[in-house]
């Protein structure tokens, strides 16, 4: 069974590209356009993985990650940050905020799926998924 991925992103082009790549490969994508919507959606849908843009309007991705981690239901859900390649400190800050990993923007369509599947593999060990 393919995974459901919650994608919290305000940029339409990234949203379109990522949704296209993931859906083409059999994943279900649930989108949220800002942090508040993302937190509410995460509590409502059981996502296998949360993909979180760091640069969001209003509440930034670090704050969102902290709020997601504060929900016990999401304690084991991998949160993969989308960080800007140019912003060196972003990756460390994302991990400190509770993210389990990161993918650098700009998104590379040739490697994106592999990157996501590496994070999913870490989240779902050979013993099988927990839900
Ligand atoms: Mn953004």
Q: Residue 84 C-alpha to ligand 1 middle, in angstroms?
A: 9
- pLDDT at residue number 129: 53
Q: Taking a C-beta distance cutoff of 8 angstroms, is the pair 82, 9 a contact?
A: yes
Q: Residue 69 C-alpha to ligand 1 middle, in angstroms?
A: 20
- pLDDT at residue number 39: 98
Helix axes 35-44, 61-69, angle to 10 degrees: 20
Residue 28 and residue 42: Cα distance in Å, rounded?
14
Question: Which pair of tokens denotes residue 28?
Answer: 């279900």
> Count of residues for the chain?
131
Summarised one tens digit per residue, pLDDT across range 31-71 is: 999 999 999 999 999 999 999 999 999 999 999 999 999 99
User: CA-CA distances (angstroms) from residue 92 to 23, 88, 100?
Assistant: 30, 8, 11
Q: Residue 56 C-alpha to ligand 1 middle, in angstroms?
A: 5
Summarised one tens digit per residue, pLDDT across range 61-95 is: 999 999 999 999 999 999 999 998 777 788 999 99
Q: What is the pTM of this model?
A: 0.92
Mean per-residue pLDDT of the chain:
92
């Amino acid at each position: 069974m393919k995974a459901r991925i919650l994608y919290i992103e305000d940029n339409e082009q990234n949203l379109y590209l990522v949704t296209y790549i993931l859906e083409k490969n059999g994943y279900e994508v649930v989108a949220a356009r800002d942090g508040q919507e993302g937190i509410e959606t995460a509590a409502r849908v059981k996502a296998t993985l949360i993909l979180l843009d760091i640069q969001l309007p209003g509440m930034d991705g670090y704050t969102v990650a902290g709020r997601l981690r504060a929900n016990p239901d999401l304690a084991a859900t991998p949160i993969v940050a989308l960080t800007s390649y140019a912003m060196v400190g972003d990756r460390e800050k994302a991990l400190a905020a509770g993210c389990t990993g990161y993918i650098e923007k700009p998104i590379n369509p040739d490697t994106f799926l592999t990157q996501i599947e590496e994070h999913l593999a870490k989240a779902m060990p050979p013993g099988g998924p927990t839900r």
